[in-house]
Structure 1
Amino acid sequence: MSNPCRRHFQRVTAATAAAALAGPSQSMEGATAYELQLAQMAQDRLRLKNIQGTEAKIALKKTLLPEYGPYVEGVLSAGNGAQDEVLVTVMIWRIDCADFDGALEIVPYALKHKLAMPDRFERTLGCVIAEEVATAAINALKQSRIFPLQTLLTVAELTANEDMPDQARAKLHLAMGKIYSGLVSDDKPAETDHDNLETAKLHLMRAIELHTNCGGKKDLDRVERFLKKHAAQQQAAD
């Protein structure tokens, strides 16, 4: 079969198999489309295991992920929530590769149906999503790279009711606080920055409340200094 035909076949067979199984009490195990993808993933994980460097692992994952695209599309289009290690692993790999939009295509389905993490993970699904995305954001900011605020806001909304350690949720608030704070110039905060500063303060305070040593105290000090400047500017203007 040509490549487009093969991808269509994979998508349709995955959708058919996923539609036939309902709820987290059932598994995709035994479904031909799933077993084929699971076997492929076992081979791919072995290749990844033989690589030591993180950057090299990510580079390989980027080349591997497109092969799972049709399967993921099929499951998301017709799935009824059966346990699916392939789907969850693809979601994690997409986060690892900074394909956050791709990961967020899977996250709502995975959370809605309470899919379990593969046995090799100790954290729950909601915790992994929140913590890994927050960590990616904080690392990007440390390297002076832009991270999409909307990604964090979406993850925060989707995981708001998920059970996780306070430290994990603190990291998510810390990342959002840092980004909102970073929207304000160090030179001279403008009046239009006030809302960003107030929002940053709320997130940073919440992060510190959840985890005292989260690393947000310097950010909070900066935000509070800028808010005082705003108050002084406003008084002078009045």
Structure 2
Amino acid sequence: MNLTPAQRNQLRKRAAIEAAAASPAISMEGATTYELQLGQLAQDRLRLKNIQGTESKVELKKQLLPAYLPYVQGVLAAGNGAQDEVLTTMMTWHIDIADYTGAIEIAAYVLKHKLVMPDRFARTTGCFIAEEVATAALNANKLGHSFSLETLVSVEQLTATEDMPDQARAKLHLALGKQYAGLPVDDKPAETDFDNFYTAKQHLTRAIELHANCGGKKDLERVDRYLKKYAAQQNAS
């Protein structure tokens, strides 16, 4: 569904008006723009269901997402927190296509208003966003690829008070620990390097406390060796 700039602007305005009028105690069900988006989503889900390959599904979602963006922008700008399956689904799609900035923007609204995930998801919103982003970061780490530390920090802050299994939170701390420990280090340990490794130690220690078999023990040992090296350098100077 290709929209002109004028159509996108009108869709965003209508979504904002309807979202502002909807009570937080109910859902967006019955609102004209929401129902149209929900109908489009049903069609797009059928298209996705007929595709078996994960990479192909991701590519299709990249093509489909822009059509929902004006609606999402309108709801985020003016919504009162009415239950919204289109919005929560778009949050998951943003994660699927690795647009974590877009996912976090929606997640902040979803968590603030305590929206529930679509029925097919067993996890709560906080658990979902924390675990999915952490998993993506850990997978990138294994492959030697970069991942945004800012994204992980934002997710940690966003989900700090959310209820989730210890293993899920441990995964997020593990990802943060590995990310801080993987930041570039000067040939001679510097104070900024120490700060990063000290922060890495805090996250790795917490990950192990929450889940002993999280896989962070070797990383913690390496971080401890570095911190001892830094301490020895400071004592010698």
For this structure pair, what is the TM-score category when the shorter chain's length is used for normalisation?
over 0.9
The offset of 1:49, in angstroms, is 1.4
Aligned twin of 1:37: 37
The offset of 1:17, in angstroms, is 1.1
3-state secondary structure, aligned to 2:52: coil
Q: Are 1:232 and 2:218 matched, yes or no?
A: no
The offset of 1:9, in angstroms, is 1.6
Q: Are 1:108 and 2:108 matched, yes or no?
A: yes
Mapped partners of 1:66, 1:32: distance in 2: 19
Task: Write the letter of the residue equivalent to 1:120.
Answer: R
Mapped partners of 1:22, 1:211: distance in 2: 40
Aligned twin of 1:13: 14
Query: CA-to-partner distance for each residue in 1:11-70, whole Å, 9 max, x for gaps?
Result: 1111111111121x3000111101111111111111111112111111111111000000
List, as ranges, runs of 4+ consecutive aligned residues in structure 1 with deviation greater than 6 Å: none
Which shows bigger deviation, 162-171 or 46-55? Answer: 46-55
Aligned twin of 1:72: 72
3-state secondary structure, aligned to 1:28: coil
3-state secondary structure, aligned to 2:114: coil
The offset of 1:211, in angstroms, is 0.6
Aligned twin of 2:27: 27
**Preserved CA contact (<8 Å) 2:167 2:211:** yes
The offset of 1:142, in angstroms, is 1.4
The offset of 1:185, in angstroms, is 3.5
**Preserved CA contact (<8 Å) 2:17 2:78:** yes
3-state secondary structure, aligned to 1:164: coil
TM-score (norm 1): 0.95
Matches within 5 A, 1:182-197: 182-185=182-185, 189-197=189-197
3-state secondary structure, aligned to 1:30: coil
Consecutive unaligned residues of structure 2, counting only runs of 5 or more, are: none
Consecutive unaligned residues of structure 1, counting only runs of 5 or more, are: none
Mapped partners of 1:125, 1:16: distance in 2: 25
Mapped partners of 2:165, 2:57: distance in 1: 28
Task: Write the letter of the residue equivalent to 1:18.
Answer: A
**Preserved CA contact (<8 Å) 2:186 2:193:** no
Query: CA-to-partner distance for each residue in 1:95-135, whole Å, 9 max, x for gaps?
Result: 11111111122111111100000000000011001111111
**Preserved CA contact (<8 Å) 1:134 1:152:** yes
**Preserved CA contact (<8 Å) 1:184 1:196:** no
TM-score (norm 2): 0.95
Matches within 5 A, 1:1-238: 3-23=4-24, 25-185=25-185, 189-237=189-237
Aligned length: 236
Mapped partners of 2:125, 2:173: distance in 1: 18
**Preserved CA contact (<8 Å) 2:18 2:31:** yes
**Preserved CA contact (<8 Å) 1:19 1:80:** yes
Task: Write the letter of the residue equivalent to 1:181.
Answer: A
**Preserved CA contact (<8 Å) 2:3 2:67:** no
**Preserved CA contact (<8 Å) 1:21 1:28:** yes
Mapped partners of 1:51, 1:188: distance in 2: 52
Mapped partners of 2:122, 2:3: distance in 1: 40
The offset of 1:189, in angstroms, is 3.7
**Preserved CA contact (<8 Å) 2:12 2:71:** yes
3-state secondary structure, aligned to 2:68: helix
